[in-house]
Structure 1
Amino acid sequence: MKKLFVLLLFCHVTSAVKHSLKYFLTASSGVPNFPEFVGAALVDEVQVGYCDSNIKSAEPKQDWMRKLIKDDPQHLEWYALKCLGNQQVFRANIDSLKQRLNQTGGAHILQRMNGCEWDDETGEVVGFNQYGYDGEDFIALDLQTLTWIAPKQQAFMTKLRWDAEKARLEYNKNYYIHKCPDWLKKYVHYGRSFLQRTEVPSVSLLQKSPSSPVSCHATGFYPDRAMMFWRKDGEELHEDVDLGEILPNHDGSFQMSVDLDLSSVPAEDWRRYDCVFQLAGVEDDIITKLDKAEIRTNRVGPPEFPAGAAVGVAVGLLLLLVLCISGLFIWRRNNNGFRPANR
């Protein structure tokens, strides 16, 4: 039954034709050396636009997006105005929240993730708009009832005020059910060659210590419709296996890993294991034999980057990753808890 379930799951993943347009907006207070406001637009998990309070403008991040803007210059102007407008609104909102919650100091973060998904096979459209504050869910829009959902008592006053703004609610409904998917379809058309490309990953075996699980790690693949698992004697394993999430890379590709606990496996039996990676649209699987000589570990060998460079990169990117990526996980974790708008 488990094998059948995994097969059905993979068939569903590889046949998926959903596209997404997501906006991540982040306002911060008390975070030194970082823009007070950051905005990013993603199509199918690929960043296509960016703005922040320092550059005070919107910038396309993909060649095909630049071509779209060349054909339609007003498109970029709309984003630039939205970036500046949201910056002012978010600053006012975060100041209001700090006052309401008696927060006089420290670092605080207000996030919004909104956008839509479109299934180009069924035509189904799903819209979403939700906020987080200091890493926790704050308020979300239910497009079916046109009301706001407040999971925490601190957001109840905001819910009452926003529920009374009927014109804004109708605007949201029209935007997420009509305008957002129309724009998404346009983006998919312009970026089709990029968004529908196929790239196979590099696969490595990693292990932190002799007692740690062995991780089979694949990175650089596209699209994100992929499956990865361990086998023993050609049979898929489900015990002592931990499958990780598919995560985005900075270049628009993806990575994932699956761990195998070998603590009770004799060394002479390792040769019976292998890791299998499957990617939608690619006929041949990537199979990696479990070989102790091929395992990369922190215990030996020089690092890939000098320590100073690694620390510099970590410091430079840590805040951006926390601010922008955490919004994605907030939404993914709680998406089932809210009722989106279906078309």
Structure 2
Amino acid sequence: MSQEVNRRLLVTGATGFIGSALLRRLAGDSRFSLAAGVRTDVACLPAGAESVRMGGLDAASNWSNALRGVDGLLHAAARVHVMYDESSDPLAEFRKVNVEGTLNLARQAAEAGVRRFIFISSIKVNGEGTPLGSPYRADAQPQPADPYGISKMEAEQGLRALAAETGMEVVIIRPTLVYGPGVKANFLSMMRWLHKGVPLPFGAIHNQRSLVALDNLVDLIVTCIDHPAAANQTFLVSDGEDLSTTELLRRMATALGKPARLLPVPSWLLEAGASILGKKALSQRLCGSLQVDISKTRELLGWTPPLSVDAALRKTAAHFLEHRTH
């Protein structure tokens, strides 16, 4: 009896935070052979993952070599959200990659016979924040408020139209803030402050925010590779436990083995100060709520986040402590 040939998966953004974690998880799965879409030669891919050189993610890129024999495509590459975008037309720049590049890839994928296209979108398609206790739902009307969120929404719309036209199955996943080993940006800054014992004025914030551990996001993506009920659906994903900024800092400090030195400054005072300093967006993330309802994800897929918040924070902290440079 001949051995069954493993189905081939292509992961784009293979060296990024999400893409690299996906490759590590899938490298141990005997059901699949892996192709990692990269722009330059990479020496650190997991054993068994084949490096596939690709050009830029734009409307003109030719993906024919990368797509040869591919059954499933996990699209994690994107022009990511940046705090201080200096381009003269940010929306146009986001559209070149996140809309035109994504839809060019998806069209070529459909023509090449790819069965399922999994698109890593963003909760920013839903919006920037929720009233306390009124979480976003997967099928609610999108209300993106910035160029990045708009570009992800337009990519989703184009993918749904392409799925209807070609029959290629599309799965859309909108993560909340993703954290885990190797996390950068504000989450890394938070860990540095806590590790140094810096007093922080965030001891009286009573918001609620949904986060998602990298391992939980990856687990959902892997679930969606094969699950029949995932076809042509949109899913929100989180850890299933919402935290206030104050609680997050306390539990992160515990994971780091440090005391949380949190001063009980009222959130309205923080928001007023941030507004004066031109940091209103930052204060929204620190003081505002952003909750998601993952009941559709749980019920339709039978999926439960495998890692608890505290376990994920301990894993994130351990990596930080091992690799910190200052």
TM interval, shorter chain, is under 0.3
TM-score by length of 1: 0.24
Greater share of helix residues, 1 or 2? Answer: 2
